[in-house]
Amino acid sequence: MNASRDPKAMAKTLRSDVAAYGLQLSHSQSLEIVAHQLGHADWNTAAAALAGGNFGPLQLPLGWQVAGSNATDYRIGIDPDAPGAPATIQSLEHRGPHTGFATLVQMVEAAPFRGKRLQLSVELSSAHVTGAATIWMRIDDAVGRNIRFDNMEDRRSDGVLVGTKDWTERQIVLNVPEGADTLHYGFYLRGEGQCWSRGFNLREVDESVPVTSDGRKVLEQPMNLNFAEKSVVA
């Protein structure tokens, strides 16, 4: 095998070839096989080892920005070799342990959405994620205070992606208060690995669709004032 070829192109060819024999591989599975063929333990190790070749900066999608506590430890942008060219965030293992996160984010004016209930729907997939791959949405007021927030990290089901997962849909539903000034939403990778996102959809829904979180942790009434009831550990 010619190791000088772009491994992502090799994975794409592999996926196409095995499909001709009635076998189906996901994009992440194809990358893992190619990594093994090139003598690496897994895809992340191969990507780090080859970072000086075909693993330079990715092109950012128009209207999106990079942010995060350690964004320079990740490759972020459009993955041209994945089917449909989704957005991706990939840890760079040669930078050392990853203690932060990186996100691809879009910010929009909240005025058209005030008083409405919004649903953010996205498809995510992941490969060897050690921390979390997830979507998030935040609503800020005019002075930059967070007044609504959800990143799925507290969910017991249908929450963040860990490890290797094929495409799956995730949703966030928030009410937009009258005092809202800006909406912020996107997806992020915390820790090591790689994740992909596609099909962002932001739309108004009615009250039959429950909110997923309001970010405030406000109780409807006082409870457990003598600390007798213990919280359930997930």
190 and 94 in a common domain: yes
Is the domain of 125 the same as that of 148?
yes
- pLDDT of 176: 96
Distance CA 12, CA 229 (A): 54
Residue 214 domain flag: no
CA angle 230-231-232, nearest 5°? Answer: 120
- Segment (H or E) for 128: strand 117-140
Residue 147 and residue 165 share a domain: yes
Give pLDDT, residue 227: 83
What's the mean pLDDT in 193-222?
86
Q: Is residue 211 part of a domain?
A: no
Residue 32 CA to residue 14 CA, distance in Å, equals 11
Question: Does 107 map to a domain?
Answer: yes
**Contact between 40 and 31 (Cβ < 8 Å):** no
Question: Is a pLDDT exceeding 90 seen at residue 16?
Answer: no
**pLDDT per residue over 53-64, tens digit each?**
445 678 999 999
CA-to-CA dists, residue 116 to 108, 125, 136, 144, 183, angstroms: 15, 29, 18, 20, 12
Q: In the chain, how many domains are there?
A: 2
Task: Say yes or no: 109 and 183 in one domain.
Answer: yes
Q: Are residues 96 and 180 in the same domain?
A: yes
Structural domain contains residue 220: no
Contacts of 45 (CB under 8 A, 6+ apart): 35, 93
Same domain? 90 vs 41: no
CB neighbourhood size of 191 (10 A): 17
- Has residue 3 got a pLDDT over 50? no
Does residue 125 carry a pLDDT above 80?
yes
Same structural domain, 64 and 132? yes
Q: Are residues 47 and 117 in the same domain?
A: no
Which residue bears the tokens 């070829």?
5
Q: Which tokens hold the place of 125?
A: 């997939």
Please name the helix (run of DSSP H) or strand (run of DSSP E) that holds residue 106, with its range, or none. strand 101-109
Q: Is residue 228 part of a domain?
A: no
Same domain, 77 and 165: yes
153 phi and psi angles, rounded to 5 deg: -65, -25
Q: Are residues 67 and 156 in the same domain?
A: yes
The CATH number covering residue 143 comes to 2.60.120.260
β-pair partners for 198: 123
Is 106 inside a domain boundary?
yes
**Shared-domain flag, residues 90 and 19:** no
Decide if 135 is inside a domain. Answer: yes
Q: Are 176 and 139 in contact (CB under 8 A)?
A: yes
Strand 146-150 vs strand 101-109: parallel, antiparallel, or unpaired? unpaired
Q: Cα–chain-centroid distance for residue 24?
A: 24
What is the per-residue pLDDT across 34-87, written as a single tens digit (0 to 9) for each?
878 877 777 766 665 555 444 567 899 999 999 999 888 899 999 988 889 999
Q: Does some domain include residue 128? A: yes
Structure tokens at 153: 């990290």
Give CA–CA dist 112/128, Å, rounded: 39
Domain that holds residue 91: 58-205
Residues 198 and 150 in one domain: yes
Question: Cα-flanking dihedrals φ and ψ of residue 10, to 5°?
Answer: -65, -40
pLDDT tens string 146-169: 999 999 998 989 999 999 999 999
